[in-house]
A = this chain, B = another copy of it.
């Protein structure tokens, strides 16, 4: 086994500028982030897109980590090559192996700081529960969405996406940088506690489980014919009551939420999701009892790789 090492990624999307800026400052000044003695490496996910100040060159890098794409030798999109390179150089089976990845993003949605996990991997759930117990932040479980797959973190044995918002694309904002650093330090702290076997896991985990995404109403040409209703802006993480206004057409017509199931909306008005036909996503808030398998799995991952 190789020594346990954490990979911190920023700039997986080239126009999310705060995390890569923090990472470059951190590389120049290693005291900037307290890693509690945990080994780590850093990388800018998509430096070419960042240089061009756009989300991606050919396709979304954070949808490229899927074997159907990675193994298809006919595909030469820039981001597929980049995904292969990242795995070759920093993947779990590379010569510089990383066992856990933190992929730092920002969002134009008013979601504050949150974690996103993909599927129900025990090690992800264990780490997320520690961060939630320390910081209280919400966790969005992205699963059961056939239209979205190939996320970067899925190619490492354990991985969390960190989402901080709201911040416009391409805009440096110290509050976003500060919050990114805060969560990273707590992650390193908890990992070091696992290494020292002095960690306290919580008894439960609060999850916001993905139900479905809702597109903006479009006309027959596919163009948006309404906006998010202004009253809904900033209401991420707040249950959606029946009859709540969702969208507003310029002529004043209001589209309302029709059901009584009180889902919890997230990613309301994320600018990058217009092309993915996602105006907002709906989740169900669930409280899960902590499962000892989660703990055993992350202990095995972190403490057996020495």
Let me know if B169 and A32 touch, CB within 8 A. no
* CB < 8 Å neighbour of A25 from B25, B32, B53, B250: B250
- Interface residue stretch chosen among A37-45, A122-130, A200-208, A221-229: A221-229
Question: What number of copies of this chain does the assembly contain?
Answer: 2
A70 interface hit (Cβ, 8 Å): no
Residue on B with the closest CB to A232?
B174
Chain B neighbourhood of A77, CB < 8 A: none
Chain B neighbourhood of A271, CB < 8 A: 168-171
* CB < 8 Å neighbour of A174 from B170, B173, B177, B230: B230
Let me know if B250 and A173 touch, CB within 8 A. no
A172 interface hit (Cβ, 8 Å): yes
A75 interface hit (Cβ, 8 Å): no
Nearest CB of chain B from residue A275's CB, rounded to whole Å = 8
* Chain A 179-216 near chain B by CB (<8 Å), digits 1 or 0: 00100000000000000000000000000000000001
Provide the bound-state CA to CA distance between A266 and B223, in Å. Answer: 33
Q: What are some 10 contacts across the A-B interface (CB < 8 A)? A: A21-B224, A32-B251, A54-B54, A170-B271, A170-B274, A172-B269, A173-B228, A173-B230, A177-B227, A181-B250
